């Protein structure tokens, strides 16, 4: 993941209008003409005050996994702004897929896709944690979708750190934030587990976290979370044997970090449900065809 040389920029055409803006910069689509042919990529142009050291920390880790967003390289533009080239998520982010009713999930198989997405997320987080890396700001906007919504990858933001780093500064999105972090405690892997529980509830309910407290200030919601408030578990959609999913969610967002499950346990449970829905639907369709044929015999 080396920096692009100045004369190579002629092979990259960046669109004029950004597709997204955030605290640290804007994201654009671009066409990159490579030796293997042209490819559509995403280009993030960071604001001038952003330090390159934060990104070099991520790049130095050389993280490669099926469910981690691929980062191509870093560079500096003529205005001394940091530029990052990365995979382009052709299906957008998970937040939009869950909450935007205009998004057409293939064959209306939302339950199957939702379980698969959260399995991919769990596998990506497990990989990060196996490398002793904490994301610290995992939320549905940081989960990107590819391949007709069939592949999910975690975007590595500026909050990613190794577990050995002393981390008491509060970062992240507050509705996904673990109570201990709100109190200014040290970040651990268990903080990502809490965020996963909130996301799993969000995806399986298709509701935004604390949607019923929209009129409240964020500090008021944080205070309620510290007092034990969580999203309504009964908002989870009714699927076959959904009780185990509900139990998993409540374990993930337990106030006591030591009572939260390991990511190995999460992966095992999500693999079971994802397999059931993917294969169960196929078996059901076959049986329907058999019944239809039998009615004409």
Instruction: Indicate which residues carry an active-site annotation.
Output: 137
Bridging pattern class, strands 133-134 and 71-76: unpaired
- Strand (E) or helix (H) holding 268: helix 263-295
H runs (alpha helix) in 100-242: 110-130, 179-182, 189-205, 218-226
Angle between helices 243-252 and 189-205 (to 10 degrees): 140
246 known ligand binder: no
DSSP state at residue 107: G
Rounded CA separation 167/134 (Å): 10
Rounded CA separation 42/19 (Å): 9
Query: Tokens for 1?
Result: 């993941």
3-state DSSP assignment of residue 226: helix
Bridging pattern class, strands 161-162 and 133-134: antiparallel
Instruction: Provide the Cα torsion 79, 85, 91, 96; round to 10°.
Output: -50
Find out whether 237 and 205 touch, Cβ atoms under 8 Å. Answer: yes
Q: What is the phi-psi region of residue 80: left when phi exceeds 0, alpha when psi lies from -120 to 50, beta otherwise? A: left
Bridging pattern class, strands 37-46 and 25-34: antiparallel
Report the binding-site residues. 44
Residue numbering of the annotated binding site for ATP: 44
């Amino acid at each position: 993941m080396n920096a692009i040389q100045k004369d190579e920029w002629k092979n990259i055409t960046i669109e004029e209008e950004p597709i997204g803006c955030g605290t640290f910069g804007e994201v654009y689509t671009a066409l990159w003409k490579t030796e293997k042919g042209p490819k559509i990529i995403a280009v993030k142009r960071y604001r001038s005050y952003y330090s390159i050291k934060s990104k070099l920390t991520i790049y130095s880790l050389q993280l490669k996994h099926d469910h981690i967003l691929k980062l191509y390289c870093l560079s500096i533009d003529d205005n001394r702004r940091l530029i990052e080239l990365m995979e382009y998520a052709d299906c957008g982010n998970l937040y939009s897929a869950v909450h935007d009713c205009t998004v057409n999930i293939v064959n209306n198989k939302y339950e199957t896709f939702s379980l698969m997405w959260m399995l991919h997320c769990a596998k990506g987080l497990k990989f990060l944690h196996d490398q002793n890396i904490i994301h610290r700001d995992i939320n549905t906007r940081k989960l990107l979708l590819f391949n007709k919504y069939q592949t999910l990858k975690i975007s590595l933001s500026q909050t990613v750190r190794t577990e050995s780093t002393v981390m008491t500064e509060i970062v992240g999105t507050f509705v996904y934030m673990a109570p201990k972090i709100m109190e200014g405690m040290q970040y651990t892997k268990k903080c990502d587990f809490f965020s996963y529980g909130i996301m799993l509830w969000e995806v399986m309910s298709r509701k935004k976290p604390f949607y019923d407290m929209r009129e409240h200030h964020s500090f008021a919601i944080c205070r309620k979370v510290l007092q034990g408030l969580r999203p309504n578990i009964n908002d989870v959609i009714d699927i076959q044997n959904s009780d185990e999913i509900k139990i998993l969610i409540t374990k993930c967002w337990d106030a006591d970090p030591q009572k939260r499950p390991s990511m190995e346990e999460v992966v095992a449970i999500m693999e079971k449900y994802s397999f059931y829905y993917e294969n169960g639907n196929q078996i059901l369709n076959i049986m329907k065809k058999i019944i239809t044929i039998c009615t004409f015999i």
